[in-house]
Amino acid sequence: MFSFSVPLGKLVRRVSRLRGGGSALPGLVVEKIDPGFMQRTLSTLPHGVAVVSGTNGKTTTTKMVVELLESQGLKVFTNRTGSNFTRGVAAALLGEVDWRGRLDADIAVLELDEAHAVHFVNRVPPRYSLLLNVLRDQLDRFGEIDKTAQLLQHIASKTTGTVVLNREDPRVARIADTLDGPDVRYFGLDDSLLSTFPNDDELRAGPGSPAPAPVQQKPHADVVLRRVGPDNADFEYDGGTVTTGMKLRGVYNIFNAAAALTLARSICGSGAAAADHATLLTALSQVAPAFGRGESLVVDGLPLDLVLVKNPSGFRLGLKSFPAGGYATMIAINDNYADGRDMSWLWDVDFESLRAEGVDQVTGSRAYDMALRLQYDEVAVGAVNTEIAPALAAFIAAAKDKPKRIFCTYTAMLAIRRELSKITTVEVVS
pLDDT at residue 209 in the model? 47
pLDDT at residue 346 in the model? 93
Query: What is 293-420's CATH topology?
Result: Protein-Tyrosine Phosphatase; Chain A (3.90.190)
CA 325 to chain centre: 26
Report d(CA 280, CA 262) in Å as an integer: 11
pLDDT per residue as tens, the chain (430 positions): 445 455 544 444 454 443 444 455 565 666 666 777 888 889 999 999 999 999 888 889 999 999 999 999 999 999 875 555 677 787 788 778 776 778 899 999 999 988 889 989 999 999 999 999 987 654 444 456 788 899 999 999 999 999 999 999 999 999 999 999 899 999 999 999 988 776 656 555 554 444 455 556 889 999 999 999 888 999 999 999 999 999 887 788 899 999 999 999 999 975 445 668 899 999 999 998 776 566 788 898 999 999 989 888 789 888 988 878 899 999 999 999 888 888 988 998 999 999 999 999 999 999 999 999 999 999 999 999 999 999 999 999 999 999 999 999 989 999 999 999 898 877 655 4
pLDDT at residue 28 in the model? 61
Label residue 73 exposed, middle or buried (CB < 10 Å: 0-12, 13-18, 19+): exposed
Residue 110 contacts residue 27 (beta carbons within 8 Å): no
Query: What is 5-198+220-286's CATH topology?
Result: UDP-N-acetylmuramoyl-L-alanine:D-glutamate ligase (3.40.1190)
Query: For the chain, which residues make up each domain, given as ranges?
Result: 5-198+220-286, 293-420
pLDDT at residue 100 in the model? 72
Beta bridge partners of 189: 225
Label residue 413 exposed, middle or buried (CB < 10 Å: 0-12, 13-18, 19+): buried
Distance between start and end Cα atoms, the chain: 28
pLDDT at residue 295 in the model? 79
Residue 150 contacts residue 117 (beta carbons within 8 Å): no
pLDDT at residue 130 in the model? 98
Q: Which residues are within 8 A (CB) of 220 and not within 5 positions of it... i.e. 6 or more apart? A: 186
Report d(CA 144, CA 226) in Å as an integer: 32
pTM: 0.80
CA 219 to chain centre: 25
| Cβ count within 10 A of residue 382 | 16
Beta bridge partners of 110: 51
